[in-house]
Amino acid sequence: MSAILSLAVYLVFVVLLVGLLMLVTHLLGERHFQRGTGTPYESGVPVTGSARLRFAADFYLIAVFFVIFDISAVFLFAWAVAARELGWPGYLAAVVFMAETVIGLAYLWKKGAFDRGARRLAEHRERHGMGRAG
C-alpha cells in the first residue's frame, strides 16, 4: 500500500509542478504581435509555397519495413551479447526468430513490396512515351 501511496504523491507532485511551470511561463512570457511573428523562417530563405506535400504511401511502407527489420537487428544484437548465458535454448530461439524474419522478408519481396518505386517509374515512362534511361 505504501508503494501505491508514494506513487500517487509523486504523480500529484509532478502534475502540480508542470502546471505551476506552465502558469509561470504564461504570466512572465514575452508577448509581441508584430507582423513577422507568425511567419515561418527557415535559414533566411523566404517561404515559396506550402509545406504540405503529398507523399505516396509507398514511402511510408518502406519506412515501416525499415523499422521492423531494424528492430529485428536490435533483438539479434541483444541475443549475441547474451549468447553464452542463454545456451542452446537461446540459440534455438534466435534461429527461429531469424527464420521468421527471413520468411517475412521473402514474403514481402515476392509480393513486390520493395518494387513500388520502380513500378511507378516504369508506369510514368510508359504513360509519357519515354524509353528506358540508359
Backbone angles phi, psi at 34, to 5 degrees: -85, 170
pLDDT at residue 32 is higher than 60: yes
Cα atoms found within 13 Å of the Cα of residue 131, Cβ hemisphere only: 2
User: Could you give the CA distance from residue 97 to residue 78 in angstroms, rounded to a whole number?
Assistant: 13
When the pLDDT of each residue in the chain is averaged and rounded to a whole number, the result is 84
When pLDDT is cut at 50, 70 and 90, the band that residue 98 belongs to is very high
pLDDT at residue 133, as a whole number: 53
User: Could you give the CA distance from residue 44 to residue 36 in angstroms, rounded to a whole number?
Assistant: 13
When pLDDT is cut at 50, 70 and 90, the band that residue 74 belongs to is very high
3-state secondary structure of 15: helix
pLDDT at residue 84 is higher than 50: yes
* H or E segment and range at residue 8: helix 2-28
Kindly report which listed range (10-14, 43-47, 116-120, 130-134) carries the lowest average pLDDT score: 130-134
Residue pLDDT, tens place only, 119-129: 677 777 787 77
pLDDT at residue 63 is higher than 70: yes
In sequence order, what DSSP letters do the residues of 48-82 get, joined into one string?
-S-S-----HHHHHHHHHHHHHHHHHHHHHHHHHT
pLDDT at residue 73 is higher than 80: yes
Query: Which one is predicted more confidently, 50 or 96?
Result: 96
Cβ atoms 116, 55 nearer than 8 A: no
Q: Which domains does the chain have, with CATH numbers?
A: 55-127 (1.20.58.1610)
User: Could you give the CA distance from residue 115 to residue 117 in angstroms, rounded to a whole number?
Assistant: 6
